[in-house]
Structure 1
């Protein structure tokens, strides 16, 4: 009989792989075209009537690139549309959202300590928030269409901060960070699907009909493309955050998520300024580092207080002999080992998550750091606190780990 659990795991892996591949393609083309647009030489009177040009060398060949501010005089043959990277990144990401967070809602989406939701309620909030995010963003763009674009970006940042707080008020920390990334990515992909590509199609239709296209369509498309450029790096951070409990399962998760968007702005400002030849603002890196240090402080990162053991074997022995280990062992066996076992007894689990087993003294001592980070310093484990780990028990884990790593 075929193992359908294993098949499901491989399907999830395949979708995740597709998501990464298409994401790389989309982000790569987005970064390239923004850099290309900013770096064009626009001080040349080109016979073709183009707005600017640039010469590039890559792969042993030279490329002569020209950009038309509105459109060329005639419709070119073999026009390439950059859209499918965006579409498939969103589609594969949404499939992952369904597979991991909707089908595994009680593990990853719902935390009764935050909001005791039914599965259908949590999924409904998720879907509605993604749709309303695009509506709110698009409305802001229409309101501030003629305003200073910095004003629009500040307004958008306000929406993102509000959504950070909202998501951490209804979902588990892990799901909150992931949803903020999905919220932002939905805006980005909808920009391509609803604004950029339709505007380009209007221009193409005008060219084919012999009409002169209106420059406003290109201007609006460029505005949305620029927004995508500044939102990309935060989305990557938010998608990766589910691997780091200090990012998603602490008291200030919503504030950490908000600060991540500021780091995205400072990093992109540096590269965009460099590509546009308007300066080399090294100060942006200093600001980025300071924001990241602030994020680490907010997450109460233990690296500033705890000395890591030298070797894995020495570590296991050290932790097993440390004061409080017997209490921690009882906590782990009672709260964690029903899943983290050679034969998990939790319904629906066929193997230990991430192959981590916590049944023997050695196994528990060897995973001391992860137990400390995920169940002591943060509330990442147990997922949604399904086994009802008490705050006193988390405190015992923290005390044991710090005692073992003290000077």
Structure 2
């Protein structure tokens, strides 16, 4: 009994820090580094890091991954020469983060749950509940936000600014404004088919990110709910909308109110239009290979004056259409290996396209961690029904 409880505790801890991309005290001290190191040695020790069993069915993933890494190194060298790129702006560095802080922790997590898919679902639910509790603590007592953020290396977060302090960033995640709310909503819908649980996640996470609306739509379509039940829910949703009080929405979810009720969504469209640009005139060379300039807002390079959050724009300016093709190919290969249900694999690719339109998702994050958890479960799973 004690062994089971310890296994649940440690597997939940590993999942939580890796899926929510948590740090400790400093934003650069990633907690997933510890399970990443352990996962690497477990893979190496069990002969699975370079084993034929793992290598053969994932040959395409290996090939594309190596191509991305080599191409990234070439681009990084040119970027350092042309624009004085910094370590955090190197694409090879970001790609290696996927391996060391998403792939290896994913394997260690799957090892802890003994390669059982149902145990993965149970641990994920525990982590969702814990995240919801963190949301409630911060939402009901915003003063706790500063204290908790400082412990987990988020002291410099925009969520601590006056205009965000009481309106967003409730919960514990390095991606609380971006990827975490979206993935939580979608995965709850496809994994659990529990309306009450889905409603709780929606009510809490819509405060953090307006993209949860898109997530619930995609998750609703991808879920295994009966088609007639889906129609009934849509009908009930339309009946409920007129009953919502605008003042209640303004007080509960001010960002949602400002975006969709006051501005009719125009603010997001305007912001996106300003973030889509090229750093120079385009020719055949730059179309194929980009300008080797990292214009991501998260990178501090003095020679880059204009920046963007849109991942596709960042990738195109850095490595051209070739980098985008390689990245999309990588996502497609991973998605169809992670999900046995090809219908869900297509939706997983679509989600990557949407998330990379919101921010640059190349690097360690919840999307890649979940993807590799599912891949390892599919490759090494014990004889247990895995519908995904």
Q: TM range, normalised to the smaller chain? A: under 0.3
TM-score relative to the length of structure 1: 0.25
Greater RCO, 1 or 2 (C-alpha within 8 Å, sep 6+): 2
TM-score relative to the length of structure 2: 0.26
